[in-house]
Amino acid sequence: MIVLPSMPLRNPNVGLVYHGQHFDADECVAIVTSAIDSEWREGGVGGYGEDKSVPSAVGKARSCLEQRLPVDQRTGAPLNKISLEISGVNSNGWRFDLSGFVADDMPYLMRYPDTMQAHNDWHIDMGRAYAASRKLGFTIQLSDPADYEGGDLEFHNVEIDSASMRKQGTLAIFPTYWLHRVIPVTKGTRDAIVGWVHGPSFR
C-alpha cells in the first residue's frame, strides 16, 4: 500500500500580484524632489560588489538610473508608510513571514528615461547573497502617466490592466519568485520606487 502525506494547506494567493493607489500626487512629487542629482548612477544586473559602489554588470538586459531612496531621518517617510501598507496587504494575501527592510538591500529610486530606452528584461528578484532573503518585491509609480510612453511593469502569466498600474501613486506588490519586466520607455521619463521586503527562508 502506498502511503501519501496529508494534503498541505494551500494558500490560493500564492501567485497574487497586488496593485492599488496608496500615495497621492503630492507625496509622489515630494519623493521625486528628494532625489539627489549627484547620486544617480547606471543600474546594473547581478547585484553589486561588496561596497555596492558599482554594478557587477551593465548590459542589454537592463538600462536605467538609480539611487538609494532618500528617507527623512526625522519622520521615516516614505519608508514607514511603505512598510505599513505592505504589511496590511501581506496579512490578507500571501501571509508570508516577513522581517522587513534590511540595511544592505534598501529600496531605490529608479529613473527610466527615453534617452536610454530604459527597461528591465524578464527576471525574478530572488538571488544569492543579500537577495536570498527577499520575499516580496514592490514598485510605487511616482510619475504622472501622461509624462511618458512605454515603461509598463508586466508580470508573466498575470493579466493586469496597464492603465490602472500606471496611475500615479500606485503600489504594486508581488512575490520575488514571480517573473516580471519593465518594457522600454519610448518617450519621456518614468520615475518609481523599487524595493524588497525580506524574511526567513521559505520552508
- The full set of domains in the chain, from first to last, is 62-71+94-203 (2.60.120.620)
| pLDDT for 7 | 86
pLDDT in tens, 72-87: 999 999 999 999 999 9
Percentages helix, strand, coil for the chain (3-state, rounded to 5) are 20, 35, 45
Q: Tell which residue, 95, 80, 189, 92, has the closest CA to residue 135.
A: 95
The grid cell for 167 is: 496611475
- Rounded Cα gap, residues 126 and 13, in angstroms: 19
Query: Which amino acid belongs to residue 50?
Result: E
pLDDT in tens, 122-161: 999 999 899 999 999 999 999 999 999 999 999 999 989 9
Q: Tell which residue, 196, 181, 143, has the closest CA to residue 63.
A: 181
pLDDT in tens, 94-129: 999 999 999 999 999 999 999 999 999 999 999 989
Strand-pair category, 170-175 with 18-21: antiparallel
- Rounded Cα gap, residues 115 and 76, in angstroms: 33
